[in-house]
Amino acid sequence: MPDNSIAKVTVVLPARNCAGHLDRCLQIFTADNNGTGTPSRKTGHAQTPALIVVDDGSTDGTAQMVREKWPSVTLLTLPAHTGYAHAANAGLRLVRTEYAFLLRPDLQPGKKCLQRLLQAMEAGAQGGDGSSVFCTVPVRSAPAPGNAGRKPFETVAVPDGCALYRMQALEEIGWFDERHFDGLEAFDLSLRAALYGWRTLQVPGAAVRPWRRDPHTDTFRRQLAAGNAPFVLYKNLPGLQRLLGAPLYMAADAAQAAAFRKEGEAGAWRMARTRGRALRSLERERRTALKDGISVYPENIADASFLGMEEAVRRIYPLFIAQKEPVILSRLPQYLHLQRLLLSAHVHCFLCK
């Protein structure tokens, strides 16, 4: 790979009350031994990708830390906590490079993570056309020596907060649906990309590892993901396709419910499912209005996502809300290919988390 390849990438870091993790992430991407592994011929040091930090209404001094310690980093400060999906969209819209590496600051990229994601993006997999690759995804675990030689493989099970995206594809298919707030927004985007003929690859040789786990945050994210899961399938899949995959989805649903009950969170599970039904109902109403020639959009992120938020959020309009994908006969090859990916054990385990 040419030593100027990292110049094609911008790293986008949406941050919410994680100044310490963000500082360490910025150190990784600006250090000589950063995640790129691409040394410059002139200096012998690894090149540094462009960096964008989006402060999603933090109250821990995140923005001040970036201004004082990292003046060369582009900083976008949101006036309120709008959710990960909106913060990610806000950062991605500032990107002017060919690719964007979206990363949660609480994830530590392993050695050569970004370089390997970029290689897979441009080369494709198993002789495929690299130009058809929409997204490359690292493994969320400690780097394993044996993974470096494994080939990338196609998937739609994209974990939130760690992926390399092709900006051309995002501009074609749209951005993260901000109704998700924080949960399965990347999975939703990968399904939509597959319908448009784009491929998503997981790269076993690239890894990210959590700095630490926050039980409270994890519970909230799992609750959002549980509510968003049926909404994602409703938006992207025809009714017949959802019916064919019903046994898989029901098994995943039962596994999620059991996990919530095991943790003593049956109430959180019921709230999640209620929110999921409300999101589907809103989307059906919007589709009916659009068919009648009436443009109807939620006025703010709080109403769109059916979540109680601070008053400041009610003055912030969504940057992007995805509509339910229409059933198009010419997409039959994509539907069949997507069904094969959805029936894989990998996606089943992903939905059960």
Distance CA 134, CA 198 (A): 5
In a domain, 81, yes or no: yes
**pLDDT value of position 72:** 93
In a domain, 103, yes or no: yes
> What does the block give as tokens for 298?
């939620």
**pLDDT value of position 143:** 58
Rg (CA), the chain: 20
In a domain, 170, yes or no: yes
The H or E element containing residue 340 is helix 332-342
Helices and strands of the chain, counted as H and E runs: 13, 9
For residue 218, what are the contacts with CB-CB under 8 A and spacing of at least 6?
none
In a domain, 162, yes or no: yes
**pLDDT value of position 123:** 86
In a domain, 255, yes or no: no
What is the signed CA dihedral for 100, 103, 108, 113, rounded to 10 degrees? -30
In a domain, 267, yes or no: no
Distance CA 5, CA 16 (A): 30
**pLDDT value of position 128:** 57
For residue 211, what are the contacts with CB-CB under 8 A and spacing of at least 6?
21, 24, 106, 107, 108
The tens place of each residue's pLDDT in the chain, 353 residues long, gives 455 678 899 999 999 999 999 999 999 998 754 455 444 444 444 578 999 999 999 999 999 999 999 999 999 999 999 999 999 999 999 999 999 999 999 999 988 899 999 999 988 754 456 679 999 999 987 656 666 668 899 999 898 999 999 999 999 999 999 999 999 999 999 999 999 999 999 999 999 998 866 555 677 888 899 999 999 999 999 999 999 888 888 888 888 889 889 888 888 899 999 999 999 998 998 888 888 888 777 778 998 998 888 888 988 999 999 989 999 999 999 999 998 898 876 676 676 66
For residue 290, what are the contacts with CB-CB under 8 A and spacing of at least 6?
296, 323
Domain of 35 in residue numbering reads as 7-214
**pLDDT value of position 41:** 41
**pLDDT value of position 28:** 92
Question: Among 80, 39, 41, which residue's Cα sits nearest to residue 59?
Answer: 80
DSSP secondary structure, 118-167, as one string:
HHHHHH-STT--GGGEEEEEEEESS--GGGGGSPPEE-S-PPTTEEEEEH
In a domain, 318, yes or no: no
Distance CA 21, CA 242 (A): 39
CATH code, domain with 21: 3.90.550.10
In a domain, 303, yes or no: no
Give the number of domains in the chain: 1
- Expressed in angstroms, the distance from the first to the final Cα of the chain is 36
**pLDDT value of position 38:** 47
Distance CA 206, CA 112 (A): 7
> What does the block give as tokens for 348?
């089943």
